[in-house]
Amino acid sequence: MKILVATEKPFAAAAVNGIKEIAAASGHEVALLEKYTEKEQLLAAVADADAMIVRSDKVTAEVIAAAPKLKIVVRAGAGYDNLDLAACTERGIVAMNTPGQNANAVAELALALMIFMSRNQFNPGTGSEISGKRLGIQAYGNVGRLVAEKAKALGLSVTAFDPFVPAERMQEDGVVPAESLEKMYSECDFISLHIPATPQTIASIGYDLISRMPKGGCLLNTARKEVINEAELVKVLEDRPDIKYVADVAPACQQELSEKFGRQVFATPKKMGAETAEANINAGIAAARQIAAYFSAGCTKFQLNK
């Protein structure tokens, strides 16, 4: 079978080598499409692919239609808002992600951004320490848990809100379950977002929540830019010059934000949460193993469109 690795943002070389080794050991071949700039390049590359590994690359209905042999697509990572699951299902294509594999890299970045913002983005001037501050984690999944663990080790008190995770699970980790999202925002110096982009969450973080943050509050977004209501974010930053917003990756209105608000905001130019060799290796190799197991044994663990 032919496995296409289509990554506009390429994996580290070690991850690609690992994918090739797993494919070869299972009798499959690998085709690489890296750093592509045009959709047409992807459409041409999928024409003879039986399987596909992607990162945030968009696997749309058009891509699926251009891939007549495609049987499985694996998003090497957690968020799968880039996959058209309905189009996959309609064609009988199995879609998977690799949950948890790049979580540590994203959690480390969240902590790094917290310190970066507390120290004036490493510019001269008096900053503040994160030890002793209160952190609220919105969504207690693989990334949220790791952020909690690391933040506790750095001396922060941690609370979390997640309607899908039992309170006892958080308490086991020494994390206080938040009574409500509103209360968490009003009581935390930092809020770290770890929600996926879904119809329910898109544009769900806006004026009402952010403006509840205490003086000097900092909202961290290493999830998806789409979960922020950008117009309302601009309004909060205008009304509350003490509040900071830091994001991986830049919102659509980033130019306006940096012109109007300077160091009140910071955004990475390209999503870099999972940009570590370790995360690439973990997620890329997991994706290759999942494809090999699907072809050899029909294994559908991690299938998203069951």
Binding residues for ligand 3PG (CB under 6 A): 9, 55-56, 77-79, 102, 271, 273-274
The nearest distance, CB 304 to ligand 3PG, in angstroms, is 13
Q: Sheet holding 2-7: strands in order across?
A: 29-34, 2-7, 51-54, 72-75, 94-97
CB distance 23 to 29 below 8 Å: yes
The nearest distance, CB 55 to ligand 3PG, in angstroms, is 3
Structure tokens at 51: 């399987």
Q: Closest CB to ligand 3PG among 55 and 244?
A: 55
The nearest distance, CB 269 to ligand 3PG, in angstroms, is 13
The nearest distance, CB 238 to ligand 3PG, in angstroms, is 29
The nearest distance, CB 56 to ligand 3PG, in angstroms, is 3
Angle, CA of 231, 232 and 235, to the nearest 5°: 95
The nearest distance, CB 75 to ligand 3PG, in angstroms, is 7
Structure tokens at 258: 């940096």
Q: Closest CB to ligand 3PG among 85 and 176?
A: 85
Indicate the angle between helix axes 142-153 and 103-118, nearest 10 degrees: 50
The CA distance from 44 to 251, in Å, is: 30
CB distance 263 to 121 below 8 Å: yes
Q: Closest CB to ligand 3PG among 136 and 141?
A: 141
Q: Closest CB to ligand 3PG among 78 and 210?
A: 78
The CA distance from 139 to 202, in Å, is: 14
Q: Which residue is nearest to ligand 3PG (CB)?
A: 77
CB distance 111 to 87 below 8 Å: no
The nearest distance, CB 102 to ligand 3PG, in angstroms, is 5
CB distance 96 to 120 below 8 Å: no
Q: Closest CB to ligand 3PG among 23 and 143?
A: 143
Q: Closest CB to ligand 3PG among 213 and 227?
A: 227
Q: Closest CB to ligand 3PG among 264 and 290?
A: 290
Handedness of CA 305, 85, 273, 135 (dihedral sign): negative
